[in-house]
A and B are shown apart, each in its own frame.
Chain A
Amino acid sequence: MATTTASLTLTSTDLFDDSLSLSNTSTLHKAGTTIGLDQTTGLTKTYVTATQQFDPFPMVKGTTNANENGRVYIANLSEDETEYIIVTIGDLVIGRLYAGDFMWMPWSPKARHVNDIEITPSVATGMWVEFMAIHNFANIYPDSADS
């Protein structure tokens, strides 16, 4: 097992009359246990030059990952505030990550294509995107496309 720790702080001095200061730390565990997640796709930084949707964490065809656990990190490294990526899961849009934005969420994929995570860049002029999954899935490719 491995020990992986994730922390998040949220701060603002002017969103409310009073300051917002929120801090959380958690250790990443396999589903229903205190055993650490022990696999990762690795941190991938890629320069995307098309607006075509791509799958950063493809699952092996015909397999499932029910009852397993994972965390996904995705960041838009662009410095142009007008550039964004659309992040989807299955057929639903999670939302847009504009320049400098990131997301961190749990992921419990099932059968292939049911809740695949996909990324669609807004421009074809080139933008940097970073992503990583930390998991205990049996059937995730480290990277490639399955569209």
Chain B
Amino acid sequence: MATINATLSVSSSDLSSNTLSLSKTMTMTKAGTNTGLEFSSGLIRRKLTATTEIDLIPTGAQIYGTPTATVNGSKLYIKNTGSSSTDYISVGLGDATQPNELNDDTSKITLGHLYGGEWMIIPYNGATDVGDVLVAPSTAETTTVEWILFFE
């Protein structure tokens, strides 16, 4: 097992009439236990040069291992390393084999957009056929995406 810590801080002095100051730390553990996650994809960096949707993180066996699907404590971090405030990547979940586009929100559902410099951390389900993590850049200009999957 390993000890992996994630700390999120969110702050604002003018979002509402009272100051917002949130700080939360989690230690990533396997499902239902206090045992730390021990596997990782490593920090992966990809350059995308088309607006074509890609299956950034397919389900099932991968070169870095086979993440446990559905019942797990796995976590996924994704970052758009760019600096543009107008170009973004759409991030969604679904079945990469389905023909519809990510933004159609049928068998593929968009979570949201990451503009330059933005990042996210979410639990990872990885269920076969529906748990693909899909990404589509808004521009054909080079977009660099980094991600790490911590899994059991």
Contacts and interface: CB of A to CB of B under 8 A. Distances in A.
A81 B29 contact: yes
Interface of A: 2-16, 20, 22, 24, 26, 29, 31-34, 36-38, 40, 42-43, 69-71, 73, 75, 81-82, 84, 87, 89-98, 100-108, 110, 114-115, 132, 134
Contacts of B88: 31-32
A71 B130 CA distance: 23
A87 B109 contact: no
Nearest to A5: B11
Nearest to A87: B123
Contact of A107 (B29, B86, B111): B111
Nearest to B111: A105
Given A75-B24, A101-B123, A8 B8 contact: yes
User: Which 6 pairs, one residue from A and one from B, show the smallest C-beta to C-beta distance?
Assistant: A95-B123, A106-B112, A4-B12, A15-B2, A2-B15, A108-B112
Contact of B112 (A37, A105, A132): A105
Contacts, number: 195
Contacts of B70: 93
Given A4-B11, A15-B4, A94 B125 contact: yes
A37 to B, nearest CB: 8
Nearest to A23: B7
Given A3-B13, A15-B4, A90 B74 contact: no
A20 B4 contact: yes
A117 to B, nearest CB: 9
A9 B31 CA distance: 22
Interface string B26-57: 11110111100010101100000000000000
B138 to A, nearest CB: 9
A31 B113 CA distance: 8
B120 A10 contact: no
B9 A114 contact: no
B61 interface: no
